[in-house]
Amino acid sequence: MPHVILLHAAFAFMTKKERYAFVLDYFRKAIPDPETELQYTNPYELLVAVILSAQCTDKRVNLVTPSLFKKYPTVEDLATASPEEIFSLIRSISYPNNKAKHLAGMARKLVNEFGGEVPATIEELVTLPGVGRKTANVVLNIAFGHPTIAVDTHVFRVSNRTGLAKGDTVEVVEQKLKKVIPSEVKRHAHHWLILHGRYVCKARNPNCAECVIADLCPSHILQR
């Protein structure tokens, strides 16, 4: 208990910059090598998995992709499939009709316009069916090692709750995070915030008792 009191007192005198440093240092030590929970073996499989993960859990996506990749192991194979054929393999995913059309269109465009290779720029990625800025940033981060910060529902929630980057839109939150997070940890920060939101700072019933940064969190302080 004395240790907790001392920590709380120290937090009260921290500057905003020091608080950011404390939060990022905590994540760096707690999760030194964060990775996506989506299962994939190459950029093509990752792109497919990320498209399927929109408004769907990674766990559900990982249950569906093995049979999908077995039937369509390459983007060229997927480009020959109709949306109806793809739908039959992803029917348990959220919004399967739209995602089947997106995957079919994405594969054909990759083959016809990019030589079957997943592009490594956000400008090119967002021209693909089913690929918005968030999906593009995830692919750039994981497949190509770019220091991008993709703002999904978890990142948006954690950023606003903790005050790390408050904003009404994902675009505003993304730009603020890019400003406050040092370049050397930007790539990991995306995963840190997702994992924290998925397992600790949940949408319902956040587990503040297990959160090391709770005393820095405006939402938690207001609830006490």
58, 134, 166, 176: the catalytic one is 134
d(CA 148, CA 139): 9
Burial 7-40 (b: 16+ CB within 10 A, else e): eeeebeeeeeeebbebbbebbeeeeeebebebeb
d(CA 150, CA 179): 14
d(CA 125, CA 131): 7
59, 152, 168, 176: the catalytic one is 152
The two tokens of residue 129 are: 């069916």
Residue 152 is a catalytic residue: yes
Residue 190's identity, in one-letter code, is H
The two tokens of residue 162 are: 């903790």
Q: What is the CA radius of gyration of the chain?
A: 19
Residue 77 is a catalytic residue: no
Cβ atoms of 158 and 164 within 8 Å: the answer is yes
Q: Which residues are catalytic?
A: 134, 152
